[in-house]
Amino acid sequence: MIMIAAVILIACAVGLGLLRHRLHRTFAAPRVRESGEPDLPGVACRRVRIPTDNGKELCGWLLPAGRPAGSLVIMHGWGGNAFFLLPLAGILSTSGMNILLVDARNHGLSDGDGHSSLPKFAADLGHAVDWMRQQPEHAGPVALCGHSLGGAAALLTAADRGDIAAVISLATFAHPADMMRRFMRQARIPGWAAPLVLRYVERVIGRRYDDIAPVNTLCRLDCPVLMIHGDRDATVPVSDFEAMREKCAGPGWEFLLIPGAGHTSVGKFEAHAGDLLDFLERALASQ
């Protein structure tokens, strides 16, 4: 009887180990490395390395302004890299701000470091902000801009720190648990396993979903925020954007829905660069 129980326990342990292995493989971020250097006519740029946790470094590109009105730190989304928002960065550099584009850990040319998560993206943004403040090129306030998970990280960073002048969030989901449920359906993870997976991932990342959800962190901010979404976004539904607008509507938050834009429609975002520049100008003027 004892032998049978031992065999059952071993089988369960092996099964759980295999399940954890599959989960980590399923939720691992794809790495797309930048090739070459940023090519923005008339805009100076240099590659930088930024220290972060566990002795790891982030790769970034700094576009210094001549007489900076502040600094804008930009973060890509899941599986992306700094070059994804490079066209938008070139336009935003006309705001007179330094622009710092950053690869999160496990992304682009930054160091690898275990799993990727919203709290880790936010930690990387925080280190990038601290690094930027120490550079001789920096002067004035610091603002954040992020796409998708990077946008959620920008909101979380601003909510946790309280020293961010403004946030621009592009195509950001409302709640990580809902986003994970959508992903699990696509990955064909059985419905009965979803609650177990959600609890396991919450333990791994070390923070409660409700505490880091953009629909909640947005409402905690006391700085100007511009939320931008495309009405053709098939990855993050417009209902997420509407949920955040309904819950956090107020004088400090602005919401822009772009017709015809999908989740990665950088060209559509570029077409509204004037709205982003106007927002940054007004946000910096209030500092």
| pLDDT tens digit sequence for 63-103 | 998 788 899 999 999 999 999 999 899 899 888 899 999 99
Q: Dig out the tokens for 77 from the structure.
A: 């989304």
Query: What pLDDT score was predicted for residue 27?
Result: 56
Query: What pLDDT score was predicted for residue 60?
Result: 96
104 lies in a domain? yes
Mention every residue, 6+ apart, whose C-beta is less than 8 A from residue 53: 113, 123, 127
125 lies in a domain? yes
189 lies in a domain? no
180 lies in a domain? no
Query: What pLDDT score was predicted for residue 69?
Result: 87
17 lies in a domain? no
Matching residue, tokens 């400090």: 252
Q: Is the pTM of this model over 0.85?
A: yes
What span, in angstroms and rounded, lies between the C-alpha atoms of 52 and 127? Answer: 6
DSSP, res 74: E
Q: Backbone dihedral region of 38: left (phi > 0), alpha (psi from -120 to 50 degrees) or beta?
A: beta
28 lies in a domain? no
- Region 205-229: mean pLDDT is 95
Amino acid in the structure at residue 29: A
pLDDT band for position 5 (50/70/90)? very low
Residue 256 has pLDDT above 80, yes or no: yes
Query: What pLDDT score was predicted for residue 49?
Result: 97
Query: What pLDDT score was predicted for residue 26?
Result: 54
- Among 170, 144, 175, smallest CA distance to 71 is for 144
What CATH number does residue 57 fall under? 3.40.50.1820
21 lies in a domain? no
Give Dmax over CA atoms of the chain in angstroms: 78
What does the mean pLDDT of the chain come to? 88
200 lies in a domain? no
pLDDT digits (tens, 9 = 90+) for 10-58: 333 334 344 444 454 555 678 889 887 887 877 888 999 999 999 999 9
Other C-beta atoms within 10 Å of 285: how many? Answer: 8
Question: Total domain count for the chain?
Answer: 1
Residue 203 has pLDDT above 90, yes or no: yes
Residue span of the structural domain in which 60 resides:
39-174+212-285
